[in-house]
Amino acid sequence: MEKETLAFHETMEAHEILNLKAISVLKSKLMQGLCFDNDLKALMEKDVQQSISAIGELKEFYQGARTKPMKEGEH
């Protein structure tokens, strides 16, 4: 099976999504320590688990794809 090729903008978008998910995990983990409501803590833990899963899926996708080389003059 041939690897899917990502354009430069797709690579950048994947990078942005990865950063967003990583920040989401960090923020939820930090806020869990400051929260006293058990229901809210459980909701934040669910967000952490979903974000970690999304990061894993994005990592698999990104590692399975290759990027197109930029041509001279492209931004």
How would you class 10 by CB atoms within 10 Å of its CB: exposed for 0-12, middle for 13-18, buried for 19 or more?
Answer: middle
The answer to the question of residue 11 being in a domain is no
Lookup: tokens for 28: 């939820």
Closest by CA to 23, choosing from 57, 52, 46, is 52
Domain that holds residue 51: 25-66
The answer to the question of residue 73 being in a domain is no
Lookup: tokens for 74: 């492209």
How many structural domains compose the chain? 1
The answer to the question of residue 7 being in a domain is no
The answer to the question of residue 55 being in a domain is yes
The answer to the question of residue 42 being in a domain is yes
Give 23-63 pLDDT, tens digit per residue: 989 999 999 989 999 999 999 999 999 999 999 998 888 77
The answer to the question of residue 4 being in a domain is no
Lookup: tokens for 20: 């967003």
Is 70 within 8 Å of 8 (Cβ atoms)? yes
Reported as a pLDDT band with limits 50, 70 and 90, residue 1 is very low
**pTM exceeds cut of 0.75:** no
Is 64 within 8 Å of 3 (Cβ atoms)? yes
